[in-house]
A = this chain, B = another copy of it.
Amino acid sequence: MRKTPVCVVGLGLIGGSLMRAAQSAGRDVFGYNRSVEGVEAARFDGYDATTRLDEALTRAAETGALIVLAVPMPALPMMLTHVRATAPHCPLTDVTSVKGAVLDAVTEAGLLDRFVGGHPMTGTAHSGWTAGDAGLFAGAPWVVSVDDHVEPDVWTEVTALALDCHAVVVPARSDEHDRAAATISHLPHLLAEALAVTAGQIPLAFALAAGSFRDGTRVAGTAPDLVRAMCEANADELLPVLDESLRLLSDARDQLAEHRSVAELVEAGHAARVRYDSFNRPDIVGVVVGAPGWRDELAAAGRAGGVIRSALPSRDSRG
- B197 lies within 8 A of A212 (CB): no
Residues on B with C-beta less than 8 A from A224 are 263, 266-267, 270
Instruction: Kindly name the residue among A243, A246, A262 whose own CB sees the greatest number of chain B CB atoms within 10 A.
Output: A262
- B216 lies within 8 A of A191 (CB): yes
Question: A179 with B193: in contact, given A188-B213, A231-B266, A272-B199 (CB under 8 Å)?
Answer: no
A265 on the B face (CB < 8 A):
yes
- Smallest distance from the beta carbon of A170 to chain B beta carbons, Å? 6
Chain B residue nearest to A177 in the complex (CB): B204
Number of residues in A with C-beta < 8 Å to the partner?
Answer: 92
Question: A187 with B191: in contact, given A253-B242, A303-B207 (CB under 8 Å)?
Answer: no
A241 on the B face (CB < 8 A):
yes
A249 on the B face (CB < 8 A):
yes
Q: Which of B170, B172, B181, B195 contacts A187 (CB 8 A)?
A: B195
- B196 lies within 8 A of A276 (CB): yes
Assembly CA distance A253 to B245 (angstroms):
11
List the one stretch of A65-73, A82-90, A232-240 in contact with chain B.
A232-240
Residues on B with C-beta less than 8 A from A244 are 198, 201
Question: A256 with B272: in contact, given A207-B302, A218-B215 (CB under 8 Å)?
Answer: no
Assembly CA distance A246 to B204 (angstroms):
21
- B198 lies within 8 A of A266 (CB): no
A1 on the B face (CB < 8 A):
no
- B256 lies within 8 A of A242 (CB): yes
Question: A217 with B273: in contact, given A212-B188, A245-B194 (CB under 8 Å)?
Answer: yes
Assembly CA distance A199 to B273 (angstroms):
9
Assembly CA distance A202 to B184 (angstroms):
10
Across the A-B interface, the 4 shortest Cβ-Cβ residue pairs: A193-B269, A200-B272, A188-B216, A220-B273
26 contacts between A and B (CB under 8 A): A121-B210, A143-B208, A170-B207, A172-B208, A180-B203, A180-B207, A183-B199, A184-B206, A185-B210, A185-B213, A187-B195, A190-B266, A191-B191, A191-B194, A193-B266, A194-B249, A198-B245, A199-B272, A207-B302, A207-B304, A215-B215, A217-B276, A232-B262, A239-B256, A239-B257, A242-B249
